[in-house]
Amino acid sequence: MDFTDGNKAHLDMTGGVISGTLSLKFPTVSGNFLLVVEQDGSTRTIANYKALDAAGNDANNDGGTAGDIRWAGGTEPDLTDGGNKRDILSFYWDADEEVCYGVVSLAFEAA
């Protein structure tokens, strides 16, 4: 997902999973970014996430593990299963330290 052109993106998981790594590319400035992940009727997963700087390199993560996202609670999210559910992944990108902080809001669906 390329956030260098905007701070919102939509990922439709219909028909597949991401068994490798979903890379999130951030701009040269700090900011808040949203990714809406939409499920179809099956279980779709994202195995790993990685933060990239504007040049496409692994984020420095303030000298920590390159490219890692710092998730609230310390673990990557377990996305919602089921038809037409949506999860919102919110990121704060600190461009100075090249640190990406992530929080997930799960199970949005029509009432």
Query: What is the per-residue pLDDT for 111?
Result: 66
Closest-CA residue to 2 (of 37, 26, 31): 26
Q: Please give the model's pTM, rounded to 2 decimal places.
A: 0.91
Rounded Cα distance, 24 and 35, in Å? 10
Query: What is the per-residue pLDDT for 24?
Result: 97
Going residue by residue through the chain (111 aa), what tens digit of pLDDT does each one get? 999 999 999 998 877 777 789 999 999 999 999 999 988 777 778 889 999 999 999 999 888 878 999 999 999 998 888 777 899 999 999 999 999 999 999 999 876
